[in-house]
């Protein structure tokens, strides 16, 4: 049976091939065969996405301190104008994001305000789903837009580290047919055993098993896996020293950012990296200049500043994007918090960024300008920003964007202008 099975699988694959279909495993196997141990040029564009799950209060993150309604609507939680780190006379950073001010001044930080989804849902679940699938209003999209980008650009499939998500599972945004890696802990990636000798033995044994007995996708994926293990051994995550003065915050976000920086510096071919940042659903006592939200923002600001510092020169190829499923109510609620709203703000950070600017049209906070009479209106469809990053930073050809955002025709005239052309 063993022999005939392999023959059948092979024959099946070839038959598909001759019908004009492209079985994924053949494509992957071909790349794996021709590109083993390739050296990845260190000038490849890299996109790092952070998802602020829980809906960040964009109005306290990037404060419209020049708008009097902001203060009248938020008597208990508004950030006092004297504490805001002013950016352009109208907007300013939350004081606990002060670590980002030098990046703004260096024109490597841009902010897109009043950005969000054309869909009006206020459900975390639905809105996150739409932001990750890239198809607001359509539930059945099987894959995420970052994965579709990877599907589209097959040229870079040759490294298992091409698309990496930090966390126990692959997030929706990277789900799909293009290979993507979920790494919960870089140091524990690979075969686990109490002693290094036992680990090496297991690794070798499984590598031989798969090299000789696996067929199809099992064969190419296992090759990728053992290459990744080998690469990581060379990189040796346990020995990583961030650049002098990079002060990563303790906690999951700091660890993820440190590991992303490490992989980028190791030139293992990272092109897309993703991490979650939780704790933004501030219904109760969210605080103003200090408090709950301030603590989350401090961690975010510190992580981004440390990451930028750590990468140093390498930031010229890197763009970091923050996103969140929606914003929060303009008016504070009865518990000194905010409820689910509509538009929020996103940060775009990195060498290729045309920074030092607030992008997007500011709709204002007047009741007449609000969405459904209560929330900050969306003036930039999040897909316009995502599409711009893919087109102008990642080099996705304009024709490919339609396939990455099905049902949407990205139009460069609507791009917020976050990336230098």
Partner 1 sequence: MKYRILGCLLLLGIGSPPMTARRVVGAQHAALLHMTVTSLRDTSSPSALSPRDSALHALNRLAYGPRPGEVDRVAAEGVMHWIDRQLTPGKIDDGALARRERDFRILDYDRGDLAGMYAEVQRERRERKLAANGAADTVVTPRDQTARRLAGQFQELAVVRAALSERQLYEVMVDFWTNHFNVYFGKGADRFLTPDYIERTIRPNAMGHFEDLLIATAESPAMLFYLDNWESVAPGAVPPAAMRVRARPLFGRRPNPFRFPPRDPEQQDSMRQRALQRAPQGINENYARELLELHTVGVDGGYTQQDVIAVARILTGWSIKRPQQGGDFEFHDWAHDGGEKQVLGAQFPEGHGRDEGIRLLKMLASLPATMHHVSWKLCQRFVSDDPPDGCVDDAVAAWKRSNGDIREVLRAIVSGPDFWAPRNIRAKVKTPLEFVVSAVRAVAADPDTTPRLAQVVARLGEPLFQHVAPDGYPEMEAAWVNSGALLDRMNAAVALAAGKLPGVTVSADSGLGAAASPDDIVAVVDREILDGTMSENTKRVITRQLADITDPGQARVLAIGLALGGPEFQRQ
Query: By CB under 8 A, what part of segment 21-80 binds partner 1?
Result: 24-25
Closest CB to partner 1 among residues 104, 408: 408
Helices (H), 236-367: 252-265, 292-311
Tokens of 179: 């290979």
Tell me the site size for partner 1, rule CB under 8 A. Answer: 74
Q: Which of 37, 39, 140, 197 binds partner 1 (CB under 8 A)?
A: 140
Helix 292-311 × helix 252-265 angle, to 10°? 10
CB atoms within 10 A of CB 6: 14
- Give me the least distance between CB of 114 and partner 1, in Å please: 21
SS3 per residue for 65-109: CCCHHHHHHCCCCCCCCCCCEECCCCCEECHHHHHHHHHHHCCCE
3-state SS class at 162:
coil
Residue 377 within binding range of partner 1, rule CB under 8 A:
no
| Residue whose structure tokens are 């955002």 | 405
Q: What are the φ and ψ backbone dihedral angles of 113, each rounded to 5 degrees?
A: -105, 160
Nearest to 344 by CA among 324, 330, 369: 324
Q: Which stretch binds partner 1 (CB under 8 A): 9-17, 96-104, 395-403, 409-417?
A: 9-17
Q: Closest distance between partner 1 and the C-beta of residue 206, in Å?
A: 5
Closest approach of partner 1 to the CB of residue 180, in Å: 7
Q: For residue 109, list its beta bridge partners.
A: 349
- Binding to partner 1 (CB under 8 A) within 296-315 occurs at none
Closest distance of CB 209 from partner 1, Å: 4
CA distances for 418 relative to 83, 216, 306, angstroms: 27, 42, 22
Which residue in 35, 69, 177, 230 binds partner 1 (CB under 8 A)? 177
In this structure, what token pair is assigned to residue 26? 């053949």
Q: Which is nearer to partner 1, 221 or 344 (CB)?
A: 221
Measured CA to CA, the distance from residue 139 to residue 130 in angstroms comes to 7
Cβ 72 to partner 1 shortest distance, Å: 16
Would you give the DSSP letter of residue 205? H
Q: Report if residue 234 touches partner 1, rule: CB under 8 A.
A: no
Q: Which is nearer to partner 1, 24 or 98 (CB)?
A: 24
Taking the least distance from each CB to partner 1, the nearer of 62 and 183 is 183
CB of 51 to partner 1, least distance (A): 13
| DSSP character at residue 378 | P
Pairing of strands 272-277, 163-166: parallel
Window 191-230: contact mask with partner 1 (x via CB under 8 A) = xxx-------xx--xx-xxx-xxxxxxxx-xx-xx--xx-
Q: Which residue is listed with tokens 């006592």? A: 285
Whole-Å CA distances, 95 to 106, 108, 286, 302:
18, 19, 15, 12
Residues in 327-366 at the binding interface with partner 1, rule: CB under 8 A: 335-337
What is the closest distance, in whole angstroms, from the C-beta atom of residue 37 to partner 1 in the complex? 15
Out of 139, 244, 250, 413, name the contact with partner 1 by CB under 8 A. 139
Out of 69, 98, 189, 267, the only residue in the binding site for partner 1 (CB under 8 A) is: 189
In terms of phi and psi (left: phi > 0; alpha: psi -120 to 50; beta: otherwise), the region of 290 is beta
**Binding of residue 134 to partner 1 (CB under 8 A):** no
Interaction of residue 141 with partner 1, rule CB under 8 A: yes
Query: Which position has the token pair 């590109």?
Result: 35
10 binds partner 1 (CB under 8 A): no
Distance, CA of 163 to CA of 142 (rounded, Å): 18
Should residue 254 be labelled a site residue for partner 1 when binding is judged by CB under 8 A?
A: no
From residue 392 to residue 421, what is the string marking binding to partner 1 with x (rule CB under 8 A)? ------------------------------
Q: Please say which residue, 12 or 80, places its beta carbon nearer to partner 1.
A: 12
Interaction residues for partner 1, span 256-295 (CB under 8 A):
279, 282, 284-287, 291-292, 295
């Amino acid at each position: 049976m063993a022999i005939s099975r392999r023959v059948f699988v092979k024959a099946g694959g070839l038959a598909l091939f001759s019908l004009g279909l492209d079985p994924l495993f053949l494509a992957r196997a071909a790349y794996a065969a021709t590109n083993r141990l390739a050296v990845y040029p260190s000038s490849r564009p890299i996109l790092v996405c952070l998802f602020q799950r829980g809906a960040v209060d964009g109005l306290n993150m990037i404060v419209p301190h020049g708008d009097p309604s902001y203060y009248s609507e938020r008597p208990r939680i508004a950030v006092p104008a004297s504490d805001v780190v002013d950016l352009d006379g109208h907007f300013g950073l939350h004081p606990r994001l002060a670590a980002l001010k030098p990046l703004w001044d260096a024109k490597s930080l841009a902010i897109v305000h009043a950005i969000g989804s054309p869909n009006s849902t206020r459900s975390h679940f639905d809105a996150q789903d739409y932001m990750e699938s890239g198809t607001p209003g359509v539930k059945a999209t099987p894959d995420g837009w970052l994965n579709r980008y990877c599907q589209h650009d097959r040229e870079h499939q040759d490294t298992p580290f091409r698309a990496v998500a930090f966390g126990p599972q692959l997030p929706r945004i990277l789900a799909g047919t293009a290979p993507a890696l979920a790494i919960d802990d870089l140091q524990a990636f690979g075969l686990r055993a109490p002693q290094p000798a036992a680990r090496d033995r297991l690794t070798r044994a499984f590598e031989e098993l798969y090299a000789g007995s696996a067929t199809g996708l099992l064969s190419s994926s296992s090759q990728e896996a053992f290459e990744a293990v080998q690469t990581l051994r060379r990189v040796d995550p346990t020995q990583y020293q961030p650049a002098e003065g990079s002060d990563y915050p303790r906690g999951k976000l700091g660890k993820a950012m440190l590991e992303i920086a490490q992989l980028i510096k190791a030139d293992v071919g990272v092109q897309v990296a993703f991490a979650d940042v939780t704790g933004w659903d501030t219904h109760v006592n969210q605080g103003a200049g200090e408090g709950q939200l301030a603590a989350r923002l401090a961690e975010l600001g510190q992580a981004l500043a440390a990451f930028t510092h750590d990468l140093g020169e390498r930031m010229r190829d890197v763009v970091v994007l923050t996103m969140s499923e929606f914003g929060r109510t303009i008016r504070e609620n009865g518990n000194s918090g905010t409820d689910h709203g509509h538009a929020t703000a996103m940060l775009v950070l990195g060498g290729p960024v045309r920074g030092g600017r607030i992008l997007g049209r500011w709709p204002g906070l007047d009741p007449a300008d609000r969405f459904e009479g209560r929330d900050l209106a969306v003036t930039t469809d999040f897909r316009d920003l995502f599409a711009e990053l893919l087109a102008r930073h990642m080099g996705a050809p304009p024709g490919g964007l339609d396939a990455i955002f099905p049902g949407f025709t990205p139009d460069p005239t609507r791009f917020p202008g976050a990336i230098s052309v």
